[in-house]
Every structure is written in C-alpha cells, then in structure tokens.
Structure 1
C-alpha cells in the first residue's frame, strides 16, 4: 500500500511527534511505501502574526505543495496526525478533491476545545464541547494563556465546523481511547466514523526485575500532569524514594518545595528513552497523577511493557488503561492524601506489587504491541478506502 503521512510538528517535540515517527517506522517495516508531508511550527518565528492566523484556518501554500506531492506519489490513503498550525484543515480539501481517502488521528482534544486539553484553572473543563463557536476558550485564554492566540484556534474550529469539514472531508477518525471517542462524538465529530486504536510500544523492552527500591514519575513537569499533587503526597511518604524524570515550567518550583519540605525525591531531568525504560525495569511502581483526561500516555504502555504496576488518577484515559486492582491502583485526581495512602498500601505489599506487574505485562502483550496496533491500523485504512470509493 502507498501511504501518505501528514504531520505538523510542534515547537517543542512531544508525544504526538513520537507516535508519528513510530507509526511511520512500523508501516515501512511491514513493507508499505510511505511518503511524508511534514511542517514545523518552529518556522513561524518571524512570520507576520496575522498571516500565521489566516494560514492556521486555511493555508493555500499547503494546498499547492500537497497537490504536487500527491500527483507525484499517488498514494492509496492519506493519514493526518496534526494540521495545526501551518498545514491547516485546508489540506483535507486538496486530498478529497483528488479522490483519496482521509484518516485523521485525534491526538488531543483541539477539535472540541481550543486549549486542546479539556482543562482550565487546574480542573477538567468541557464548556466548549458541542459549541459551534468555542468562544469561552478564547475568553479565558485557554491556549498558551493568550486570548488572542486562543481566538485563532477557536476561529479555525468554528470556520471548519460551519463548512462541514469534519463531517464531509474525513473518512475515518482514530481516537486513542473509548473515553476520547465519546468526548469527540459529543463535540460533533461523526460517531460512526471514529475508531479506537491506542498507541503502542516497539520494540518490546521486556519485563524487569523491579528491585531498584524506588517509585518513578515520568512526564512533563507542568500543572496538568499533577506534579503539585505528587510532591504534596510525598511529604507523607517517608522511606519511599521517588525519582522524577522530565522537565517543564514547574521544575524550579518543585525542587524548591522538595528542599523546603525535606521530601525524598531525586530530580533527574530529561532522559533518553532507553534510560527511561531501564528505570522502569528497576522501579517498584510508576506514579501518574495527571489532572486532565490525557490522550493516550505512551508512558503507561511502556510501564506495562516493563511489567511495572501504575498508581494513576481515576480520570479519563488513565482510568481506562489502568485496571484498578489488576494492573495498578487508582486514586481521586488531585487528592494528595489519597495518592499517598494508595502508594503506601501498594509499596508495603511486595507480593501484590509483583502480581500487578505480571498483569500489566499481560495487558501490554494483548493490546499495546506493534503487531496488535498494525492490524487495527490496516483495518481502519481499509474502511477509509472503502468509504472513499463509495
């Protein structure tokens, strides 16, 4: 199969960029001819803000370049990962005008929430879900804390909702979880076109011995990741070392609070994937206290692949991926005391911890391997091709 993958990279590399590369590599390994069309938001530096705003809604430059690429490569299916900001949804129109099927992975909630997180002021917020014009997001400056920049996102969503882009120009959507599928359907994305396909971990890192004697956090040090809850919880967890892998805007605050509170935590900064997996193989438990729905945290699938049980918030994707009492334990989002009690209970029962680790490993083998993901992806491509032909 000839497959065109389209992706708009973010200024700061993130999970969506990693998933795009992982799926590209998987498709190539399986023998498909893969062509990529990639833009980068870093190229917006120095661009007139008004021009950038207009092109976020409709980029004619993207249309011209994409048309030439399609004429040259003649793909069987076109798979979009991200169109924001430089590519724009105008690209769908070019692809459909050339009679090709369109697949769109919904990595975040931008089609129903200008801030993309369904979160405001540290809490879950669904005010914009289902609105034809998501104006509350612009009023509150939900993207980057800027009303002007959020207004650009809201305008893009509103214009293409009015044009019927989401209904008429995409043959199949990929949601990463059932929770996300429901939210998008409530927000107006055609429910009968949304398939659920999680992210995957490849290659298989194998299970670890988990004898390092520490708990582990891996993620961006930002408010939505629940890092303040994490640190508050650890004030009451004497004797349980915590290693924190990652960086972000709250790192300085966390380090200062840890020093002042005498919290037993080691801040390790950003680490490469291989080292993260090694840490997961040694850790006794992964702590994942996010206070937003999440998309599909690859970190959880990586932990499962390493046979590492997870203590996570009972919210969104986390509550769907982590089976409470089987592959880990869940606690109330934002509840530092509840998190501390949950971690302490699991930490004190080594046998239960090991049993959950084995169940986590089994869940990985059943759901999150490259082979399982490939079969789901090809089924979605076939559905999109049949839909476009019809």
Structure 2
C-alpha cells in the first residue's frame, strides 16, 4: 500500500500486482466537530476584519516555515489586516529552526502580527484561520495537514512538494505554488 501516487511510483514496477494507493484520511472530529471560529478568534485576539493565515507542523527546515515567513513579508507590508500564525513545536533534530523563525519574526517591522504559538490543538488552530499554508520544502509523501485543512473548509496554499500537488488541485481545492517562488 502507498499513501499517494508519489509514494506508489517508485514501486509500481517491482510489485505491480500488489501495490495500491490508499490515501490517508482525517479522524472523524475534523469532519464532525462544530466550527468554533468566533470563540477561537477571540482567544487569538482577532477581529472580523483580520485575515488569519496559518502554518501548522513541527518547525523544521523541511517544513518551510522560515521560507513562508520571508515570502509573506510583502503581504504583511501591504495588508495591515493580515496576522500570521505558526503552530507547532520545535523539530527535535533541528531545534535551531524555531530560533531562526522567532528571530526573523522579531526583527521584522510586522512582529506584532506574527504569532509563533508552539504546540497547538489542530482543530482549534484551523478553526481560527482564514487561510492555511503548507509550505513544505521536502517531497511530502502525502500532506495530511492539507487534508485536515480541507476538512475544516479552509482555502489552501501549498508548495509543489511531493504528493501535496496530488492532494490539492491547483485552482480548484487550493493553490499550488513553486517552492522557489
């Protein structure tokens, strides 16, 4: 079994009769839980005029949080209503990345609109957002965060990384951008 075509491709000729693609799924709360947007936006001090953009996942060079932050500086400059959230704990293999992310956020002229929250509850995090970004720089084998975001009816922006481009249909279920843009 493979979780995506991206994972399936290298093995399809080795095990042609035995290989199947069975994508991951989200747990029932992502589909069934009531959206608590109003309550959660209060928790994060967001007004209705704010546009909350979020990234969730372990803070790691491969997950692209620093790349994402730097890419969004022009948007933060132009749109004062944008607030950027990073949810996730530090990568145990590379704890420096969180320090780099925090440093870049603090040194920017938008630091009051960049929130680095540490570990967060996924459902609560998603429900406070207006847009979810998955800025992975490595070849994602699936992209469960993207599926969770879709289950919570969030617009998505993902990088063309591994199976993310399978999971998100560019222009239909979200937007797929190049990793180097």
Number of the residue aligned with 1:21:
none
Instruction: Please name the residue that 2:59 is paired with.
Output: 221
Instruction: Please report the TM-score for the alignment, with normalisation by the length of structure 1.
Output: 0.38
Distance 1:265 1:189, change over 3 A: farther
Partner residue in 1 for 2:142 = 296
2:23 aligned with 1:195:
no
1:189: how far off?
A: 3.9
How far did 1:300 drift? 1.4
Give the whole-Å Cα distance in 1 for the aligned partners of 2:33 and 2:173.
16
5+ long unaligned stretches in structure 1:
1-173, 336-390
Mark the CA change 1:181 to 1:207 in structure 2 (over 3 Å): closer, same or farther: farther
Question: Contact 2:135–2:158 (CA<8 Å) still a contact in 1?
Answer: yes
State yes or no: 1:266 paired with 2:108: no
Correspondence for 1:246:
88
Do the aligned partners of residues 311 and 298 (structure 1) sit closer, same or farther apart at CA in structure 2, a change above 3 Å counting? Answer: same
Query: Which residues in structure 2 correspond to 1:30-179 (within 5 Å)?
Result: 174-179=1-6
**Length-normalised TM-score, structure 2:** 0.79
Instruction: Compute the displacement of 1:308 (Å).
Output: 0.9
| CA shift in 2, pair 1:189/1:220, >3 Å | farther
Provide the secondary structure at the position in 2 that maps to 1:216.
strand
After the TM superposition, which parts of structure 1 deviate over 6 Å for at least 4 consecutive aligned residues? none
Deviation, 1:210, is 5.8
Partners of 1:226 and 1:184 in 2: how far apart? 28
Structure number, greater radius of gyration: 1
Hey, which of these two has a bigger chunk of helix by percent?
1
Shift of the 258–267 alpha-carbon distance from structure 1 to 2, 3 Å rule, reads: same
Instruction: Indicate yes or no: 2:159 matched with 1:313.
Output: yes
Counterpart secondary structure, 2:172: coil
Q: Partner residue of 1:329?
A: 175
C-alpha root-mean-square deviation of aligned residues, in Å? Answer: 1.9
Contact 1:207 1:281 in 2 (8 A): no
Provide, for residues 26-58 of structure 1, a one-character-per-residue CA deviation record: whole Å limited to 9, x for no partner. xxxxxxxxxxxxxxxxxxxxxxxxxxxxxxxxx
Residue matched to 1:230: 68
C-alpha deviation, 1:324, in angstroms: 0.9
Distance 1:314 1:268 in 2: 26
- 1:205·1:277 contact (CA, 8 Å) conserved in 2? no
| TM-superposed deviation, 1:333 | 1.0
How many equivalent pairs are there? Answer: 157
Ranked by relative contact order (alpha carbons within 8 Å, sequence separation 6 or more), the top structure is 2
SS at structure 1 position matched to 2:163: helix
